[in-house]
Structure 1
Amino acid sequence: MTSSIISSTKNLFRKYKDRMIEADAEPVTLIVIGCGQRGKAYGKYALQSDACKVVAIAEPRPQTRKLYAEQHRVDATLVFETWKDLHAASADTMKTVGKRLADAVLIAVQDHMHVEVALAFAEQGYHILCEKPMATTMEDCIRIEEAINKAGIIFGMGHVMRYSPYSQEITKIVQSGALGQLINIVQVEPVGYYHFAHSYVRGNWGSEKDSSFALMTKCCHDIDIICHWMSPSPPVKISSFGSLRHFHHRAKPLDAGDAIRCLDCTMENDCPYSAKRIYLDSVSRGNTGWPVSTLVDGIPDIENITAALKEGPYGQCVYESNNDVCDNQVVNLEFENGNTASFTMVAFTSAICERQLRMHFTYGEIIGDMNKYVVTDFRANKTKTFHPINEGGGHGGGDMGLIRTFVEAVRTGNQQLLGTDVSEILRSHLTVFAAEASRREEKVINCVEFERKARASLREMLAQTVLR
């Protein structure tokens, strides 16, 4: 049954199709705004395929900018320190030459910057791939939707889970109806104890005012894919519970005393969140990738990582940091057709982002962990395990799958290839905002009414701006 749905030949077909694209068409040209971890992840496709080429970049960090430009052989005249400088150069080129610098823009800057960059380049007519989340407020997400629709451009979202071989194979089974009607989904996002400490305590996503709440910054693509699997039935009710349970001063071990930094702490060797263990010991073993690569500008080594731990936020005690986002949260959803789903995000696990999935159908079930999934058909009384082929890249191949699909969508002018559009992306983001509202307000949220109020709020804000 499922073997007829899933075929190993599709991976060969993808590679064959890429070769045909490369042979028959000029490469899609890309601008990369932000050359950090996500910018590198998406840019990797341009180094492996002739389907696209990075022709301009903007990155404030000197060494990161230099290394990225060299790797992609970007002309020095198209290497910029800020996105605003690049945007101005694009405006000049459009005015003098009558065309844009490239076909599309990849937005991989900090979350709070997404809206201004997206609006600016949408106005110039660039196709856009934006890293998740879309924006950090409901109003800004709606503004992006309106700008994209007005410009009539291709829009991709960094919901990479949709584009991994694992997820796409499961999606085909869901949509085929081979196991009957999907009734319930249970998904767990095990962020990982040191991953959470790195990104959501010490790192860029630890403070809500500097970024957004954890459910949005970490898990918006979990909610998105749950809604995708349940479509076309939309979510109508949502509830959520969660808190910052452990990473705060009250949980600090007494033996740590007054130490503010791990390198000054007498019990550092016994702490699972030790910065020395996570970063310094890692680079001493030759690891120059994530997470140590995020601490410094350029290539990490013992000297510059030590300096970062002595002076920067990544060397701080996790119990003395300025973080305020949830380290555990659950979300419950009811859909229009009566289907249900539950989602859990938790920091305290060694299964770093290896999401656990259970899908319950009228005639079967699927149990998965992102590396494999097991399909049971109740009617045939048969169970089979599948191991999707990861062609490389992060998120089980989702990073590569997304950028490949986006490039092809731009090349052909076909938004449908991405399997979503800006309005659906907005709705899944509003569902995440509704979940957080439920957690804060301690009540069940009506998703339809929540969206109506969000749009009305933006209209009111715009009206007040005009009156001023």
Structure 2
Amino acid sequence: MSKTRTIQAALIGAGKRGRNAYGTYALQRPHELRFVAVAEPDAEKRELFANQHGIPPERQYASWEELLAEPQLCEALLICTMDREHYGPAMRAMDKGYHILLEKPMSHDALETLHLAEKAQQSGRILTVCHTMRYNPFSNELKRLLDAKIIGDLVSAQWAEHVFYEHYVSAFVRGNWRNAGKSSPMILQKSCHDMDMLQWLIGADCAAVSSFGKLTYFREENAPEGSTLRCTDGCAVERTCPFSAIRNYYHTKQGGWYNAVSLKPTLEARMKAIQEGPYGRCVFRCDNDVVDHQTVNLLFENDVTVSFTMTGFASEGTRTFKFMGTQGEIRGHSKKNEIEVNYFNGKQEKIYPPVADGAHGGGDFLIMRDFLTQVLTGDVKGRSDASVSARSHMIAFAAEHSRVTGQTVYLKDFVQSIRSEAIV
């Protein structure tokens, strides 16, 4: 990153994403980024982040409202709150003059999403959305190949998001994103990345969407005989259950899912969290309602068709794809960092893009680098700015509407109806 000074920033939401993905960047590159304030309702998380970054007590806030009631504290603001707490602070922060890096999804609500994009354009503020996959080397190599038309004109694609089963049960059965009424639908919360990638890679807006999906397995009627409300309540099948909280959060190795359960890495802290907190509940007896599998069919305005699948029943977390063109096909596997090109003339090649440091194929660090460059240069049109991200979010909202109603959704009509209903 070409730089001339250190950017000062504030963080709203000091959970895992705020602390680990973006806070770590500042700790490793203090000459580029320094956090000077934090807002977080959980005192333990707030104090942990403040101690890591040397933030004084007078710049530690219990809510985003308190932080944004102050005169503008710095140039940049990172919003890493829960889904339903993105819109309020983002809108107020733009009025205050902040440039913003906003965690996805932009909002749980379609109209709020459109309003955020419009506000960013009107205010002239940077509003970059954390679609980190756009930034990693693997995705950019795939984009280069498709744009170069090495397989001719693109005709159709298959794309799958394989959510590692431990990730699924931790985040979407027991965890913060288990209930759409408290967070957002699965297709928006988890797979807005995929809708964004498809829009970007295909290079056209989506015209129509149909979708099917259900919460099929993680329901009380599927609980094994002898199971209990909690894994620590004497469950008869706990020792053999792949979803056991004791197995996944207590005995897990350093760096595993236990750090979502307890900030303290001790065994005592983990067990207390399992016995008392949401992560110790039986996966068949939670208040979860988001789907555990979903398919989406998409038609883009350039006539490209796509079949997308999300499943929470995967032995590894990865994305796989096949892009089919008039002269060949491109296959890929993100975890293997492998792209395979098969030409119809018989030629074959395998490509292994450079590997960048950091999570999401290096995307977490690379989006920070790009965002800081935007702040330094005043460039409001980033790779995943609000106007671009809002369009791909609409695909996810349309897919959920189709899943619930059973209707094919036409995007232009859908967006118009959202605006019209707001006026009424």
Matches within 5 A, 1:34-433: 34-40=13-19, 41-49=21-29, 50-89=31-70, 91=71, 100-231=72-203, 233-256=204-227, 259-264=228-233, 265-282=235-252, 285=253, 287=254, 289-296=255-262, 298-352=263-317, 354-370=318-334, 371-376=336-341, 378=343, 381-416=346-381, 418-433=382-397
Cα distance, 1:311 vs structure 2: 1.0
Cα distance, 1:386 vs structure 2: 2.1
Higher helix share: 1
Aligned length: 420
User: 1:179-236: CA deviations, max 9, x gaps?
Assistant: 32222221111112111111101111111110111111111010111011111x2111
Task: Answer whether contact 1:374 1:383 (CA < 8 A) is retained.
Answer: no
Partner AA of 2:138 in structure 1 = Y
Distance 1:208 1:326 in 2: 9
Q: Which residue of 2 aligns with 1:4?
A: none
Distance 2:58 2:219 in 1: 47
SS at match of 2:313: coil
User: 1:47-102: CA deviations, max 9, x gaps?
Assistant: 2222222121112222322221222222332222221111112x3xxxxxxxx311
| TM-score relative to the length of structure 2 | 0.95
Q: Which residue of 2 aligns with 1:8?
A: none
Could you list the structure 1 runs, at least 4 aligned residues long, displaced by more than 6 angstroms after superposition: none
Whether 1:29 and 2:11 are equivalent positions in the alignment is no
Percent identity between the two aligned chains = 35
Distance 1:27 1:177 in 2: 40
Task: Answer whether contact 2:94 2:120 (CA < 8 A) is retained.
Answer: yes
Q: Which runs of 5+ in 2 are unaligned?
A: none
CA RMSD of aligned residues (A): 1.5
User: 1:250-280: CA deviations, max 9, x gaps?
Assistant: 1111232xx1001121210111110011101
User: 1:384-423: CA deviations, max 9, x gaps?
Assistant: 222223322111111111111111111111133x224322
Task: Answer whether contact 2:124 2:380 (CA < 8 A) is retained.
Answer: no
Q: Which residue of 2 aligns with 1:456?
A: 420
Distance 1:410 1:357 in 2: 34
Distance 1:291 1:219 in 2: 20
Q: Which runs of 5+ in 1 are unaligned?
A: 1-17, 92-99, 461-468
Partner AA of 2:86 in structure 1 = H
Distance 1:160 1:326 in 2: 23
Distance 1:58 1:166 in 2: 34
